[in-house]
Amino acid sequence: MSKTASPGPSTRAPGPFRPGGGASPRALVLALVVALLFAASAAQALSPDEQNNVDVYRNASPGVVNITSITVDYDFFLRPVPREGAGSGVIIDRRGYILTNNHVIKNARRLEVTLADRSRHRGFLVGAYPEMDLAIIRIEAPEESLVPVPLGESSSLVVGQKVLAIGNPFGLGETLTTGIISSLGRSVSSPDGVLLEDLIQTDASINPGNSGGPLLDSEGRVIGINTAILSPSGGSVGIGFAIPVDEARRIIPDLIEKGRVEYPWMGVSLFPLFPALAQALDLSVEKGVMITEAAAGGPADKAGLSGATHILEVGNIQLPVGGDVIVAVEGKAVKSPEELTRILRRKRPGDQVSLEVAAKGRTRTVTVTLEARPGDRTRR
């Protein structure tokens, strides 16, 4: 009698795989899903630099505002013609104070400020400092909608450092651009024709409407206020300028408290001294700045400094000479009136400055107590 053979070991491979290495449809679908998830994750992953850009923008953009100004011009027939301009600003505290450029709000009959939440508020001028193209305005808005952006420092900036600019170029709100500090200590004329010095140069794109917005470091701190571009076309070509935030820090308290900045005044008119002129005048020093006039009763006059004693004619030019020559301020040599002005601008009325002065073949040290410029004492 024949026996039925018992079944041997199963030839079906365990799991989803078939003999011969083939995969089941279920396995293929699972593998495909895993691959797509991995690809999506890789596509969404940001580099550290990109993540920094995202973080800075997310934290700082709520504190950047759009400022619309209404000015009035007159046509050929002297009829008033309202004109609208736009710029940016940065909230500096929860009381509603906003830092911007003077040229953004100059001569405005009305200011309107749009916050990041799209709410609109009437703006009021608090004070302006045209010498550095800075101004403070204020709005009345719920405290929770006011997001101040922290102020950093500009004294330790270096060329090559990463910077970010946020503003409203061409009316496009909350726009972020990035770049580096291209140079420091630049001088350029503001849109109002005022010579601005010690500016930050950057290749971060700055366009019309960015004026008054913040230039930020990689920590999201304000290191400058965007103010001007160098461009033949009116658009960005990678040469923009920002006012160092240290300049703003210095004047913000005065603008908020007094509505003006009292400019430190020494009460002198100056002319640069150069070697050929020093030789012609038989002076003991070759470089410095000559005092051509010391205002009567002014700080320099009170300190015993003297202006010109006579006039020297050189061709068609009449040059006041014979006054004291300032060769150094607080131990730093000065070669031009601009250098002296730059040093004094960082002072305040009441501060004392030490001058090294040459006159009559000898050099002496003179201490001058600065005063507020006469026009600043009463101006509001």
State the CATH number of the domain containing residue 303.
2.30.42.10
40 lies in a domain?
Answer: no
Record the tokens describing residue 255, joined without a space.
Answer: 């603008």
**Mean pLDDT in residue range 115-121:** 93
| In contact, 270 and 340? CB cutoff 8 Å | yes
| Proportion of the chain above pLDDT 70, given as a percent | 79
Where do we find the tokens 């999201």?
Answer: 220
Residue whose pair of structure tokens reads 């009441």 in the numeric block: 350
On whether both 215 and 273 belong to a single domain, the answer is no
In a domain, 46, yes or no: no
- Helix count (H) and strand count (E) of the chain? 7, 22
Both 97 and 168 in a single domain?
A: no
Lowest mean pLDDT among 141-150, 203-212, 314-323: 314-323
Q: Are residues 247 and 278 in the same domain?
A: no
So what's the pLDDT on residue 378?
A: 44
Q: Are residues 71 and 126 in the same domain?
A: yes
On the 0-12 / 13-18 / 19+ scale of CB atoms within 10 A, 255 is buried
Instruction: Kindly state whether residue 157 falls inside one of the protein's structural domains.
Output: no
In a domain, 101, yes or no: yes
In a domain, 268, yes or no: yes
Domain carrying residue 219: 162-257
Domain identity same for 113 and 210: no
- The Cα–Cα gap between 64 and 216 comes to 11
Mean per-residue pLDDT for 233-240?
63
What's the CATH code of the domain at 222? 2.40.10.10
Please identify, among 93, 117, 145, the residue that sits at the C-terminal boundary of a domain.
145
Per-position DSSP letters for 162-228, written without gaps between them:
EEEEEE-GGG--SEEEEEEEEEEEEEEE-TTSPEEEEEEEE-S---TT-TTPEEE-TTS-EEEEEEE
Looking at 235, 257, 279, the residue that finishes a domain is 257
**Annotated active-site positions, please?**
103, 133, 211
Alpha carbons 344 and 267: distance in angstroms, whole number: 12
Q: Evaluate whether residue 9 is within a structural domain.
A: no
The residues, any chain, with a CB within 8 Å of residue 339's CB and separated by 6 or more, are none
Whether residue 327 sits in one domain with residue 294: yes
Same domain? For 292 and 358 the reply is yes
Indicate whether 287 pLDDT > 50: yes
> Is residue 140 domain-shared with residue 216, that is, in the same domain?
no
Both tokens of 256, joined, read: 């908020």
129 and 135 Cβ atoms separated by less than 8 Å:
yes
The mean pLDDT of 216-241, rounded to a whole number, is 80
Of 212, 236, 257, the residue at which a domain comes to its end is: 257
Confidence bin at 274 (pLDDT 50/70/90): confident
- Counted domains in the chain: 3
Indicate the pTM of the whole model: 0.72
Q: Are residues 209 and 279 in the same domain?
A: no
Domain contains 48: no
Residue 324 CA to residue 360 CA, distance in Å, equals 8
Based on the fold, state whether residues 92 and 186 are members of the same structural domain: no
Provide CB contacts within 8 A for 81, sequence distance 6+. 72, 73, 74, 75
**Cα–Cα distance between 67 and 102 in angstroms, integer?**
12
Higher pLDDT among residues 258 and 312, named by residue: 258
Residues 175 and 129 in one domain: no
Mean predicted lDDT score pLDDT of the chain: 84
Q: Which amino acid is at 314?
A: V
Residue 325 lies in a domain: yes
How confident is residue 168, by pLDDT bands cut at 50, 70 and 90? Answer: confident
216-229 average pLDDT score: 93
What's residue 38's pLDDT? 59
Tokens of 315: 């061709």
Q: What is the 3-state secondary structure (H, E, C) of 24-45?
A: CHHHHHHHHHHHHHHHHHHHHC
Give the range among 95-99, 133-137, 187-191, 201-205 with minimum mean pLDDT. 187-191
Specify whether 275 is located in the same domain as 198. no
Q: What is the mean pLDDT of residues 211-232?
A: 89
